[in-house]
Amino acid sequence: MLKTPLNKIFCRVLLALLLCIFLPLQVLAQEEPSNFTSTDSYPADSAQAWLAKMSDAVKSLNYTISFVLLKPGMDSQPYLWRHGVNADGLEMEQLNLLNGPGREIVRIGNKVSYFEPNVPPYSLQSSIINGPLPSEFFQRPDKLMLGYEFIMVGRSRIAGRAAQQIRIISKDNSRFGLNVWLDQETGLLLKMNMFGQESQLLEQIQVTGLQVTKEPDPFFAKIEPGMLPEVVSFRPTEPLNSAWEIGYIPKGMTIVKRDQRRLSSSGEIVEYIMLSDGLVDVSVYLQDKQSNKPQDNLVGTVQSDTLLTIEHGELNITIIGKLPAATANAIAKSVQRIN
């Protein structure tokens, strides 16, 4: 853990950067849902078949799930997740943070509406909800096979239900690992543990209640689509002609977004790059060293995210993401000017 005053510095920097990227992350979610291969294409007891079963169940079943997000040193965060498919085949979804002032997200088809404290309600055009559950893992588990190995572990009992455990390990040991438990009957997620390179628990999602029904939850019948906030439209960003490139990107990761951002904390312009493997998103910020005061190299964790800030050549580089500090450092030091 970080000690004062570095801990305060990290928290402030992380908060400012996360506020800078939160809305763009939601825009990135505007991808088409996967048509992941049917379970019939794989042996019944293979990890691929289980992941296909999970992907199909998440999109096709009517269910209500209660789960808790746990991070060491933090209060637990309880959520309610509802999903339904109406008679016309339209998907409906709700995610509700139950503690504090709360945060509610409602999706009707490809319209996602956000209701948050101190923020006017708004909607985005998207087929997924952004929350603590990795939507790409549910929608496109095949994409993860580029960067991860999936290992069948065995069966156990989670939340009173029989479950199949699958271990997910980075192929190049550059990212944290996961243990997931899928409901044997439906394929829905029952538990997910993220663990560090020393096998320490970094983050846990634990389902406390699961109900699958024939019809959608009555909650969805009360929603009037016409009363939801209007969809926010964004001006298309111009292609960025960058002078920099990242020489090292972990296996299975790709650059999914690149533009310029204005930091809310200082008003300064930085170059922003997002790397993703479908399970982990990594934010990279590049800033001209001459436009900023000299700073010490910093590395540590805030919640389950690594925060690395270093001076490298002509740049100040900041990296935030759920990945080991050594990997963040390797990414930062691989940044080089394009000749």
Contact 178, 167 (CB under 8 A): yes
Q: Which of 227, 255, 282 is the last residue of a domain?
A: 227
Same domain, residue pair 179 and 49: yes
Tally of structural domains, the chain = 2
Same domain, residue pair 100 and 203: yes
CA distance 224 to 35: 29
Same domain, residue pair 281 and 211: no
Amino acid of residue 95 = L
pLDDT in tens, 273-321: 999 998 999 999 999 886 555 566 777 766 678 999 999 988 999 999 9
Q: Which residues touch 293 (CB under 8 Å, ≥6 apart)? A: none
CATH number at residue 94: 2.50.20.10
Q: Which of 205, 227, 249 is the last residue of a domain?
A: 227
CB atoms within 10 A of CB 211: 11
Would you state the pLDDT for residue 238? 67
Same domain, residue pair 84 and 197: yes
pLDDT in tens, 23-48: 434 434 444 444 444 445 667 679 99
pLDDT in tens, 160-204: 999 999 999 999 999 999 999 999 999 999 999 999 888 889 999
CATH number at residue 337: 3.30.200.100
Same domain, residue pair 61 and 172: yes
Q: Which of 208, 227, 246 is the last residue of a domain?
A: 227
Contact 314, 294 (CB under 8 A): no
pTM for this predicted structure: 0.83
pLDDT in tens, 324-333: 999 999 999 9
Domain that holds residue 309: 1-30+235-339
Same domain, residue pair 291 and 318: yes
Would you state the pLDDT for residue 179? 96
Measuring CA to CA, which residue among 110, 104, 112 is closest to residue 228?
112
Measuring CA to CA, which residue among 13, 18, 56 is closest to residue 38?
56
Same domain, residue pair 49 and 9: no
Same domain, residue pair 265 and 325: yes
